[in-house]
Amino acid sequence: MAISEIPLNPPHAKTIALVDDDRNILTSVSLALQADGFATRLYSDGAAGLKGCLDNPPDLAVIDIKMPRMDGMEMLRRLREKSDLPVIFLTSKDTEIDEALGLAMGADDYIGKPFSQRLLIERIRAVLRRTANRQLLAEGAADPADPTDPIVRGPLTMDPARHRVRWNGRDVALTVTEFLILDALAQRPGFVKSRDQLMDVAYAHDSYVDDRTIDSHIKRLRKKFRAADPAFDAIETLYGVGYRFDVADQ
């Protein structure tokens, strides 16, 4: 069930939905977020969280994986059918498979329990910054004297101003993080980007991620492009080195 909505912050405060069956975590994280200038909405299970996020979308959702009625994985799967709302997963430190699956399903980031509230807030701010940059470009807020031209690489077309990606004329829906990673690879076809370089592009300097995070995003990128084109193989893995985008111009 939904526990509460707490409109104690200024009207333009970013709203964070917290979905967790642990009331102590909900209360403590909510208070920390409010002290940092956020507004919060609290939900104690995935079913209530899903309804709340679809009926009255927040700016970002922090979702625990293990919950009653509907777990975080199922909530994210259903959410992604209708929304690209930024999502950060909370996971147990011994559930690496959950972390990988969560990112593969479209989560923007994850953080392991037990966690530092300050680290969680930094992660939230990093994801919100990436989302805000995308929205500004989509609304045409970029400097008109310095337009952002679409990137065309063979069958790939990326339009940063509209956050739109097409492959062979078919739309491919990407999260903010996936778009940033693909953009970094497509800027210089044939050149290798290390995981560290991709992490620097996709995450703020105050975020802490590891190799598995980038690997999971790459796997999801491939899955999305192969849904549009089963023969897609433009993102190559160079084991021990990194990744590159390579496709002949058409």
Render pLDDT for 40-84 as a digit per residue (tens, 0 to 9): 999 999 999 999 999 999 999 999 988 888 999 899 999 999 998
pLDDT at 51: 95
Residue ranges of domains in the chain:
2-137, 143-245
Mean pLDDT across 189-208: 76
Residues of 102-115 as b/e, b for ≥16 C-beta within 10 angstroms?
A: bbebbbbbbbbbee
Cα-only R_g, the chain = 18
Whether residue 8 has pLDDT greater than 80: no
Confidence category of residue 91, pLDDT binned at 50, 70, 90: confident
Q: How is domain 143-245 classified at the architecture level of CATH?
A: Orthogonal Bundle (1.10)
pLDDT at 2: 54
pLDDT at 146: 41
Mean pLDDT across 149-175: 86
Whether residue 226 has pLDDT greater than 90: yes
pLDDT at 5: 47
Question: Among 162-171, 175-184, 190-199, 208-217, which stretch is predicted with the lowest mean pLDDT?
Answer: 208-217
Number of C-beta neighbours around residue 182 at 10 A: 27
Which candidate, 69, 63, 123, 46, places its Cα nearest to that of 99? Answer: 63
User: Rounded to an integer, what distance in angstroms lies between the CA atom of residue 88 and that of residue 120?
Assistant: 9
Render pLDDT for 206-223 as a digit per residue (tens, 0 to 9): 455 566 778 888 998 999
The H or E element spanning position 90 is strand 87-92
Which candidate, 230, 244, 236, 227, places its Cα nearest to that of 173? Answer: 227
User: How much is the mean pLDDT over the chain?
Assistant: 81
User: Rounded to an integer, what distance in angstroms lies between the CA atom of residue 97 and that of residue 101?
Assistant: 6
Render pLDDT for 100-148 as a digit per residue (tens, 0 to 9): 566 667 788 878 777 788 878 888 988 888 777 666 655 554 444 344 5
Q: Which CATH superfamily is domain 2-137 in?
A: Response regulator (3.40.50.2300)
User: Rounded to an integer, what distance in angstroms lies between the CA atom of residue 16 and that of residue 33?
Assistant: 8
On the 0-12 / 13-18 / 19+ scale of CB atoms within 10 A, 77 is middle
User: Rounded to an integer, what distance in angstroms lies between the CA atom of residue 165 and that of residue 173?
Assistant: 7
Residue of higher predicted confidence among 62 and 99: 62
pLDDT at 137: 53
Which candidate, 177, 211, 198, places its Cα nearest to that of 245? Answer: 198
Whether residue 195 has pLDDT greater than 70: yes
